[in-house]
Each structure stands twice: as structure tokens, then as C-alpha cells.
Amino acid sequence: MSAAAPVALAVMDDAGFVIGSYAVTAVALLALVVATLRRARRLAPLVRDEDKPWT
Amino acid sequence: MQSTGTGTTRGLGLLAIVALAWVVVGGLVATPRDVVQGESVRIMYVHVPTAWVAYLAFVVTAVASAGFLRGRSRSLGFDRVAGASAEVGVLFMGLTLVTGSLWGRLTWGEFWQWDPRLTTTAFLFVTYVGYLAVRGLDGAPEQRARRAAVVALLAVLEIPLVHFSVVLWRSLHQRASVLDPGGDVRMDGLMLFTLFVGVVAFTALYAWLVLHRSRVAALAELAGRGELARAVAARRAEAGA
């Protein structure tokens, strides 16, 4: 392993698979969170506050 | 202008962020490697909670669907929760399959095996993708909601089959990791704590997502009604002029 490798990759066996599983999970969930908030912000101005049951 | 956030969602979001931070630190650094599985055990801290949340999401979809069918008013609020929960559940189930296949590559030397647990899980995933497709079919809102509710009540019956597949058939997949058949805990304390925090983190994130997404669905419906009302008023004004 090269000296420039991140610490986790240097000390952990199979780090690519382990960190990859965390990365895939983080990216997928973050994408859903961002898409949900963007859609909410786009639609919110089209509806009056008194028509939103959660307000 | 009020968006879809409330005090509850902000609290859930904060809880999810703090707990997820621990999952990363605990899962990748603080917990020890397993004597049998080695470093691949670290995948368990995301794999098990995502599977749990997927099951939870599909059960909530079924309960909300039953609520829609049973209620006299046939409230579309139940339908919106059912749809939002299924959408989030499908993502979590997909993540369960991906993280599981990464773990399988390290443990079995293969990304995929036609093993009872893997096959039934993939079948459950495809079933709920189909459920979402059914939700997208044409029809009046109540008609679409009724159709989807029936599918949801049938689809949820697959969950016990998936969960008990490792007991019912000979499976490569390990059985319960936390409790042995006698009910005794057989995990290191820090590993168990990190797994528990992972379950809390992903459950909080699931609840946050379902609340926001069901409110977004309500906004879309209300905005659509507003557009329709404006279009009708414009046509009437045109006809009167």
C-alpha cells in the first residue's frame, strides 16, 4: 500500500469494501434528503400557510 | 412562508445527524474487528439498520393503507404516508442489498448468491418497486389510493418469509447476529452499542423523510387543486366576457 493512502485504508483490511458501503449509503440518503427539501421549497410558495395542516 | 419543516422534524434531523456521526466513528474506528469476520463486520453497522428500516417502512405502509381502507372518510393523508414510507423503504431495501453484496464479496467471495435470504430480499425489493409503479397508474386520487392500499396489504405478507428464510431453508446467510436461540446477547458491548445507535439513527432519518415527503405530497396536491381552480376561473371569465 502506498504511503499516500488514507490512514483507514492503510490500517484496515478490505477498506475499499467497508468504506464503500458507508459511502454508498451516505450518498444515496443525502441525495434523497436534498431532493425532498428542494421539492418542498419549490412547492411551499404555491400553497397558503393556513392550508398546510402541519403549520 | 412555511415549508415542510416543524419542531418535530428538526428534532428528528438533529438526532439522526448526531447518531449517524457516531455510527461512522464507532463503526469505522472505535469498535474492534471481529474474530471470525475480521473488518467486514463493520459493514453490519449500516447493513442491519437499513434492513430494519426497510421492514419498518413496509409495515408502516401496510398500516397506513389499512387506515385508509378502514376509515369512513377515506382520508388521503393515510395514503400519502403509505406512499412516502414505501418510497423511503425501497431506498433502504436497495441499500440493504448493496451493502449486503459488498459484505458477501468479502465473506463468501461472491457479490451475489441465489440464497434464500438474498433471493427473498430481492423479491421484496421488486415487489415494492411494483407497488410504487401501481401508485403511478392513472385514475382518480381515491381510486389510485384504494388500488395501492390493496397491493400494500398483500406485499407486507412477504416480510415474515424474508425474515425467517434463514430458518426455513438452508441458507448461506448467518442467522440472528445479536441474540442466540436462547435469547442471550453474544456481542461485544461497544459493537452492540454502535449497532443500536445505527438502528436509532436510521429510524430517526426514516421518520424525518416520511414526514417531509408526505407533506411534500400534500403540497403537490394542494398546489394542483389551486392551479385547477385558477384555470376554471379563467375559463369562466373568458366565457362571460
Mean per-residue pLDDT, A24-28? 97
Low pLDDT (below 50) residues in chain B: none
Residues of B in contact with A17 (CB under 8 A): 40, 43, 102-103, 105-106
Instruction: Give B159-175 pLDDT, tens digit per residue.
Output: 999 988 888 887 777 77
Q: Which candidate from B1, B38, B102 shows the least CB-CB separation from A49?
A: B1
Instruction: Enter the ipTM.
Output: 0.87
Is the pLDDT assigned to residue A6 strictly greater than 60? no
Which of the four pLDDT bands, split at 50, 70 and 90, describes residue A2?
very low
**What is the structure's pLDDT at A4?**
44
Strand partners, B34: B38
CA A27 to chain centre: 4
The 3-state secondary structure of chain B, one letter per residue: CCCCCCHHHHHHHHHHHHHHHHHHHHHHHHCCCECCCEHHHHHHHHHHHHHHHHHHHHHHHHHHHHHHHHCCCCCHHHHHHHHHHHHHHHHHHHHHHHHHHHHHHHHCCCCCCCCHHHHHHHHHHHHHHHHHHHHCCCCCHHHHHHHHHHHHHHHCCHHHHHHCHHHHCCCCCCCCCCECCCCCECCCHHHHHHHHHHHHHHHHHHHHHHHHHHHHHHHHHHHHHHHHHHHHHHHHHHHHC
Cβ atoms of residues B49 and A29 within 8 Å? no
Q: How far is B182 from chain A (nearest CA, A)?
A: 31
**What is the structure's pLDDT at B196?**
94
Hey, what amino acid is at B96?
T
Residues of A in contact with B215 (CB under 8 A): 40, 52, 54
Higher pLDDT, B227 or A21: A21
**What is the structure's pLDDT at B176?**
67
Residues of A in contact with B228 (CB under 8 A): none
Is the pLDDT assigned to residue A5 strictly greater than 70? no
Q: How far is A19 from chain B (nearest CA, A)?
A: 8
| Interface with A, mutate which of B106, B110, B208, B221 (most A CBs under 10 A) | B106
The answer for residues whose C-beta is within 8 angstroms of residue B233's C-beta and 6 or more apart is none
**What is the structure's pLDDT at B226?**
74
**What is the structure's pLDDT at B208?**
97
Cβ atoms of residues A28 and B199 within 8 Å? no
Mean per-residue pLDDT, A8-20? 77
pTM greater than the 0.90 cutoff = no
Q: Do B46 and A19 touch (CB under 8 A)?
A: no
